[in-house]
Amino acid sequence: MKTKDQPQIIEKKWPLGKTSGKQSYHPGEIEIKWQEKWEKEKLYRAVDFDKRPKKYLLVEFPYPSGERLHVGHGRSFTAIDALARKYRMMGFNVLYPFGWDAFGLPAENYAIKTGINPAVTTTQNIANSKKQAKTWALSFDWEREVNTTDPDYYKWTQWIFLKLLEKGLAYRADVPVNWCPSCKTNLAQEEVLADGTHERCGCQTERRMQKQWLLKITAYAQRLLDDLKIVNYLPRIRIQQENWIGRSEGAKIKFPISNLAIEVFTTRPDTLFGAVALVLAPEHPLLKMPEIKKKMPKEVAVYLERSQKKSELERTDLSKEKTGVFTGLYALNPLNKEKLPVWVGDYVIGWYGEGAVMVVPAHDRRDYQFAKKYHLKIKEVVSGGEIQKEAYEGEGKLINSGEFSGLSSLAARKKITDWLTKRQLGERTVQYKLRDWVFSRQHYWGEPIPIVYCQKCGTVSVPEKDLPVKLPYMEKYQPTETGESPLANIKEWVEVACPECGGPARRETDTMPNWAGSNWYFLRYCDAKNQKKFADRQKLDYWMPVDLYNGGMEHTTLHLLYSRFIYKFLADLGVVPGQEPYARRHSHGVVLGPDNQKMSKSKGNVINPDEIVKAYGVDAYRLYESFMGPFEQMIAWSDEGVEGCYRFLKRVWQLTMGKTSREKTNPELLKALHKTIKKVGEDLENLKFNTAVAAMMEFINVWQVDLRGLNKSDLEKFLLILAPFAPYLTEELWQRINGQNHARSRVNLSIFSHEERWSIHQQPWPKYDPRVIQEKTVTMLIEVNGTVREKLDIGYQISGVRKEVEKLAEASEKTTKYLAGKKVKQVVFIPGKLINFVTNC
């Protein structure tokens, strides 16, 4: 360290404010004070129609469970909070709202476990989690808080359902549903994991048929796919959505069978000459026709019975053996009139495509397995593979395909489809994997579906003026063994006069699924207290779309897709602007336990954020959540990591409290500072929270060895860039170094609408000076009419660029003075040496 030869510096004391009594860092002592003051002064209020440009930042709202907020919530909420704070400092009108996704199974299961009504536990849990969120200094605008179980809120969830019904996008049908015997409820396909267990409780699910409400999300499949092009989603999110929608282009082909025809969907019509059989799904309607049933061997009925018990995943698993039975029927290949045996096989799915496939063993892996097992022919029709060994699924030249031989497989796809289309034996078609969304649950804790069944009028919507249909209070809300909702037990509630004829009618007792309330909550934030509409259109026009939406990867195919669908529907009604709700979607990685495993009570590796906060303070906790690793990556929790963040903050505190300053910060330190300002600013924009924090830590290391310190204005700059991450500490230090009359002394900060900008969080984001960051510098002479007026240290690279030097020279104070009121006739430039402005007089 080079303290010896340093020149004598005149040190001066900064005017310390009133709170300067305590000199050491005790985070617990400053947190409540600032939290209350910020709240009282409504520092984080989003202002409708404000003339500042807007930013709408959104984090997925949590369900208020008994466990309260965990470190996974913290990772998302604190990082996006840092960004919200930076945007405010940059002069944006920021909407960063919060609320509670409080209906649904988690709340109900918690209530069942504790024996307390979900209405009561939900209120308690919300109060507890809210206290946590406030402690964490999350800069939410609490005036816009929403709660999906509030009748003023779910009135509009019900209203959206009625609009969907009105437009033919909600319907009732008998559908095979996944039944969870433990939760006693039906589940959506998405709630069942790959091994057939319920995602929430881990129980093995069963399949049954039940009348359910469904939403026709499939009507929006193509638009949901196309519009992924106009949004900025993390690639892995976009790809998951594309796969989930699962668009396939191909052909529907008819195989005549006596006076009927079996239709199949194929993506490879070019392989039609290689078809050796047809396989029907066990659910295929042909198998239910009495005259066909009569002719089929007994094994078929046995097989159908057995496959009914299997889950879809079991049936389609590529690694499982493909099974089937011959039905005794034959169909004709429409292209070459060859007789093809018709089989039943449960690897064919009833609901997808036509529920039937043509078997092309040479060019499809599943069919290859099937043919090997049942000794079917393997007919090669596309060259390029080694079909003795395995199926060849690639492209090539057509062989053994009559008049189509010699064509490329790609060209043949088109030619064969055209040939079939001309003879009405087939047509081009598009299929989607996406399925309609099962929208009813047989549970108590959900939005009642606003429908009445009348003996005379049938299915009747509850009129809009009678919304909301309120969820009645119940003593016993356990699910019933029959699978009916417990609401069916409340006679007074169920029996109702028909809204149309006044006659006897019954209410729908099913409630909406977990995802209903979260479909549109981001719209309510724009106008949370509106009593007449779900949100005022002008406010929506001002705030929407959401500029950045962060949430878990587990919501990519459920909530994210559902809410995009509902938004498009509302756009079609003309009640929301644009086509997409979220301009940008990002996803944070899961926080693992210190043992690198998923946190769970049974493993005993759950980190309780309250304890971390108690031990190290909120700022260290927040800083660590950002610092732990790249935002989108899964990261294991580390106590040493938090400790390190705490030590860093303590050092910032000590260095600031060192109370020494000088007129000018030394150039080395200044350069490091400006580099840090640049890096932190850019990293925040790019959601690289961890490297932003690392850059500030690095800066502290430079500062530590340079005992001469920063001058006051440079110190302030550093505190300003740290403020979004460590709001309490920086506020305290800001007030201490500036004293009480601080706000009035800074008059030029007109970007905030607040009268007095006393808080560090109301100050403008600091700018870095690119000249300071320049690596090597050259001293250049700035002349006006041949007289040297200024000497500038200019970055080595820039010193050779005429335009750049000109700009810098013109910006310098002295040159400006000499050039004032004159016209520059000529500029002489000698790279790295001088620039001379020749003027008219």
Q: Which residues bind ligand ANZ (CB under 6 A)?
A: 248, 265-268, 271, 281, 348-349, 352-353, 355, 357-358, 360, 363-364, 431
| CB nearer to ligand ANZ: pick between 265 and 627 | 265
| CB nearer to Zn ion: pick between 495 and 668 | 495
* Total residues belonging to the chain: 841
| CB nearer to ligand ANZ: pick between 357 and 809 | 357
Written as six digits, the tokens of 233 are 């989603």
| CB nearer to ligand ANZ: pick between 377 and 603 | 377
Q: Which of these, 722, 589, 720, lies nearest to 649 by C-alpha position?
A: 722
Quickly count: other Cβ atoms within 10 Å of residue 208's Cβ. Answer: 12
| CB nearer to ligand ANZ: pick between 265 and 582 | 265
Computed over its alpha carbons, how large is the radius of gyration of the chain?
Answer: 34
Which of Zn ion, ligand ANZ, none lies near 500, with the C-beta cut-off 5 to 8 A by kind?
Answer: Zn ion
Q: CA-based angle 197:198:199, to the nearest 5?
A: 110
Do 544 and 576 contact (CB within 8 A), yes or no? yes
| CB nearer to ligand ANZ: pick between 268 and 678 | 268
Do 452 and 460 contact (CB within 8 A), yes or no? yes
Query: Contact region for Zn ion (CB under 5 A) — 56-64, 68-76, 253-261, 498-506?
Result: 498-506
Residue 239: CB minimum distance to ligand ANZ, A: 15
- Check the CA dihedral 725-729-731-735 and report its sign: negative
Residue 309: CB minimum distance to ligand ANZ, A: 18
Residue 189: CB minimum distance to ligand ANZ, A: 15
Determine the straight-line distance between the first and last CA of the chain, rounded to whole angstroms.
Answer: 54
Which of ligand ANZ, Zn ion, none lies near 265, with the C-beta cut-off 5 to 8 A by kind?
Answer: ligand ANZ
| CB nearer to Zn ion: pick between 146 and 462 | 462
Q: Is 828 left (phi over 0), alpha (psi -120 to 50) or beta?
A: beta
Question: Which of the residues 658 through 687 are near Zn ion (CB under 5 A)?
Answer: none
457 is a site residue for Zn ion (CB under 5 A): yes
Which of Zn ion, ligand ANZ, none lies near 423, with the C-beta cut-off 5 to 8 A by kind?
Answer: none
| CB nearer to ligand ANZ: pick between 348 and 620 | 348
Which of Zn ion, ligand ANZ, none lies near 248, with the C-beta cut-off 5 to 8 A by kind?
Answer: ligand ANZ
| CB nearer to Zn ion: pick between 393 and 500 | 500
Site string for Zn ion, 500-529 (x = CB under 5 A): xx-x--------------------------
498 is a site residue for Zn ion (CB under 5 A): yes
φ, ψ dihedrals at 149, nearest 5°: -95, 0
Q: Which of these, 563, 613, 582, 596, lies nearest to 74 by C-alpha position?
A: 613
| CB nearer to ligand ANZ: pick between 360 and 576 | 360
Q: Which residue among 208, 456, 791, 833 contacts Zn ion (CB under 5 A)?
A: 456
Pairwise CA distance, residues 278 & 354, whole Å? 12
| CB nearer to Zn ion: pick between 9 and 457 | 457
Question: Which of the residues 359 through 388 are near Zn ion (CB under 5 A)?
Answer: none
Do 815 and 809 contact (CB within 8 A), yes or no? yes
Residue 453: CB minimum distance to Zn ion, A: 9
Quickly count: other Cβ atoms within 10 Å of residue 247's Cβ. Answer: 15
- The DSSP H or E segment spanning 293 is helix 290-295
| CB nearer to Zn ion: pick between 501 and 811 | 501
Written as six digits, the tokens of 731 are 């506020």
Which of ligand ANZ, Zn ion, none lies near 363, with the C-beta cut-off 5 to 8 A by kind?
Answer: ligand ANZ
Residue 434: CB minimum distance to ligand ANZ, A: 12
Residue 321: CB minimum distance to ligand ANZ, A: 15
| CB nearer to ligand ANZ: pick between 363 and 708 | 363
Residue 347: CB minimum distance to ligand ANZ, A: 6
Q: How many residues bind Zn ion (CB under 5 A)?
A: 7
Q: Could you tell me which residues come within 8 angstroms of residue 412 by beta carbon, excluding any fewer than 6 positions away?
A: 269, 270, 398, 401, 404
Which of ligand ANZ, Zn ion, none lies near 358, with the C-beta cut-off 5 to 8 A by kind?
Answer: ligand ANZ
Pairwise CA distance, residues 34 & 18, whole Å? 15
Which of Zn ion, ligand ANZ, none lies near 376, with the C-beta cut-off 5 to 8 A by kind?
Answer: none
Q: Is 769 left (phi over 0), alpha (psi -120 to 50) or beta?
A: beta
Pairwise CA distance, residues 179 & 482, whole Å? 12
Quickly count: other Cβ atoms within 10 Å of residue 508's Cβ. Answer: 21
496 is a site residue for Zn ion (CB under 5 A): no
Which of Zn ion, ligand ANZ, none lies near 456, with the C-beta cut-off 5 to 8 A by kind?
Answer: Zn ion
Which of ligand ANZ, Zn ion, none lies near 431, with the C-beta cut-off 5 to 8 A by kind?
Answer: ligand ANZ
| CB nearer to ligand ANZ: pick between 353 and 641 | 353
Query: Contact region for Zn ion (CB under 5 A) — 73-81, 103-111, 450-458, 511-519?
Result: 450-458
Which of Zn ion, ligand ANZ, none lies near 360, with the C-beta cut-off 5 to 8 A by kind?
Answer: ligand ANZ
Residue 425: CB minimum distance to ligand ANZ, A: 16
452 is a site residue for Zn ion (CB under 5 A): no
Helix 639-657 / helix 689-705 crossing angle, nearest 10 deg: 50
Quickly count: other Cβ atoms within 10 Å of residue 481's Cβ. Answer: 8
454 is a site residue for Zn ion (CB under 5 A): yes
Do 499 and 462 contact (CB within 8 A), yes or no? yes
Pairwise CA distance, residues 708 & 706, whole Å? 5
Q: CA-based angle 803:808:811, to the nearest 5?
A: 125
What are the residues facing 25 on neighbouring strands?
none
Which of ligand ANZ, Zn ion, none lies near 498, with the C-beta cut-off 5 to 8 A by kind?
Answer: Zn ion
Pairwise CA distance, residues 555 & 422, whole Å? 45
Residue 352: CB minimum distance to ligand ANZ, A: 4
Residue 456: CB minimum distance to Zn ion, A: 4
| CB nearer to ligand ANZ: pick between 382 and 835 | 382
| CB nearer to ligand ANZ: pick between 357 and 546 | 357
Site string for Zn ion, 397-436 (x = CB under 5 A): ----------------------------------------
Which of Zn ion, ligand ANZ, none lies near 536, with the C-beta cut-off 5 to 8 A by kind?
Answer: none
Q: Could you tell me which residues come within 8 angstroms of residue 355 by beta carbon, excluding any fewer than 6 positions away?
A: 280, 281, 283, 284, 285, 348, 349
Do 160 and 519 contact (CB within 8 A), yes or no? yes
Which of ligand ANZ, Zn ion, none lies near 349, with the C-beta cut-off 5 to 8 A by kind?
Answer: ligand ANZ
Residue 505: CB minimum distance to ligand ANZ, A: 40
| CB nearer to ligand ANZ: pick between 434 and 805 | 434
Q: Could you tell me which residues come within 8 angstroms of residue 52 by beta carbon, excluding any fewer than 6 positions away?
A: 91, 92, 93, 751, 753
In this structure, which amino acid lies at residue 78?
Answer: T
Residue 413: CB minimum distance to ligand ANZ, A: 11
Residue 494: CB minimum distance to Zn ion, A: 15
Which of Zn ion, ligand ANZ, none lies near 454, with the C-beta cut-off 5 to 8 A by kind?
Answer: Zn ion
Pairwise CA distance, residues 747 & 531, whole Å? 41
3-state secondary structure 159-227: HHHHHHHHCCCEEEEEEEEEEECCCCEEECHHHECCCCEECCCCCECEEEEEEEEEECHHHHHHHHHHH
Pairwise CA distance, residues 395 & 575, whole Å? 48
Which of ligand ANZ, Zn ion, none lies near 688, with the C-beta cut-off 5 to 8 A by kind?
Answer: none
497 is a site residue for Zn ion (CB under 5 A): no
Give the interface with Zn ion as residue ranges (CB under 5 A): 454, 456-457, 498, 500-501, 503
